[in-house]
Amino acid sequence: PRYGLSVIGCIQDAISGNYLLSQEEAIPRHVAIRMLAQAGVMEFKTLPNKNTVSGREIFSVLLPSDFNFSGHSRRSKKSGKEEKDPSYVIIKKGKLQQGILDRANLGEGSGLLLRNLHKQYGPDQTIDILEKIFRLGVHYLLYRGFTAGIADTDLDKDTWAQVNAELNKADEDVRILINDYAAGNLEALPGRTVEETLEIRILENLNNARNKAGSVVQQQGTGTSHTRIMADSGARGNIINLAQMSAVVGQQAMRGKRIDKGYYQRTLSCFRKGDLLPESRGFIRSGFRKGLNPKEFFFQAMTGRDSLMDTALRTPKSGYLYRRLANAMQDLKVEYDGSVRDSAGRIVQFAYGEDGIDVSKSESGTLNVKRALEVEQ
């Protein structure tokens, strides 16, 4: 592992499925047995013998009977309450007692649950459990039904009013900044020219407006739309993507600043020369659901082409850079005194990685002392 977390894990449907399954309280026992059989489980004696079982009880069938684990879900990480948050994951003696399963504990590159399974039971048993978890999530979705429709991006009148209020306020703030700049009253930031300060302040205002619009969209409803579930569980996308579809796309930036290239002293021929207002410098007020007007479409195409070129040019550069680095560092090794040296014995680092931690025994590059003590006990 690169930094002590699993390189492989659940993705997309498997995360959405287990996210919903861990919150399900009543599933008929015969349906649970069918889903487990489809996931590759042939032994059902650990499934409670009652008419309906919870999703947590179904998931527990996949876990070894002596497995203990506690860790954050995406929701409990935001709240910071740990065990007091009902979404915080607690597994004792192979039983999922509380918590919501999502990308934070099942995903690739972030799944602490998978990392702990690997540490205790080795790679073969872990990959077997992972495959069953993946299949269980997918088959639960087939049983329950899961569809992302365009209606998921619809906003009610009150939400639209709040979004427009935020955008109008940002527009007004930007006009005040431009007027201050024109009157010579704008104070420059340390180490910046007045022009650079204006651009930075405008960009801050417009990005804040988009983020606030995203928060307004997030507050609408109860999170039961399937598109929202995908964002909340970490299966795909995030709330900003949803806000861009339903409310506002926001400021298009090229190389960290607003779009300023195009025609002489203006971005497109339909704008006045020297115009600094948001709509003339790449701010897209529409959402993808509503549709972009021709000016907004041009700005979206500009940044799209820029990122396409960036991807095409960066790939060979980074590949060749890695090759040169790998060849240059072939003779580096950790000596018995803990230092990193080359073949001539010259010290490159006094401790491997400056902290001497073996990444395969770490969690996100750091040692979890509390968990290490729990294992020792």
Q: Which domains does the chain have, with CATH numbers?
A: 13-144 (1.10.274.100), 150-308 (1.10.132.30), 333-376 (no CATH)
| Average of per-residue pLDDT values in the chain | 84
Quote the pLDDT of residue 347. 92
Quote the pLDDT of residue 323. 93
Looking at this protein, which amino acid is placed at residue 258? R
Angle, alpha carbons 326-329-335 (nearest 5°): 135
Which residue is it, tokens 């560092």?
329
Residues 195-207 pLDDT 10s: 888 888 888 888 8
The answer on pLDDT for 363 being more than 80 is: no
118 half-sphere exposure, CB direction, 13 A CA radius? 20
The answer on pLDDT for 46 being more than 90 is: no
Quote the pLDDT of residue 98. 86
Mean pLDDT, residues 32-59 taken together? 87
Choice among 29-33, 71-75, 173-177, 226-230 with the minimum mean pLDDT: 71-75
Length of the chain: 377
Burial profile 273-297: b = 16 or more Cβ within 10 angstroms, e = fewer: eeebebbbbbbbbbbbeeebeebbe
Task: Find out whether 334 and 348 touch, Cβ atoms under 8 Å.
Answer: no
User: How does residue 281 score in pLDDT terms, banded at 50, 70 and 90?
Assistant: confident
Six token digits for residue 324: 């040169």
Task: Find out whether 59 and 24 touch, Cβ atoms under 8 Å.
Answer: no
Q: Please state, for a pLDDT cut of 70, what percent of the chain lies above it.
A: 93
**CA 277 to chain CA centroid, nearest Å:** 32
Distance CA 38, CA 140 (A): 10
The answer on pLDDT for 253 being more than 90 is: no
Q: What is the DSSP letter of 131?
A: H
Q: What is the DSSP letter of 361?
A: G
Mean pLDDT, residues 53-78 taken together? 84
Six token digits for residue 109: 């590159």
Distance CA 73, CA 87 (A): 6
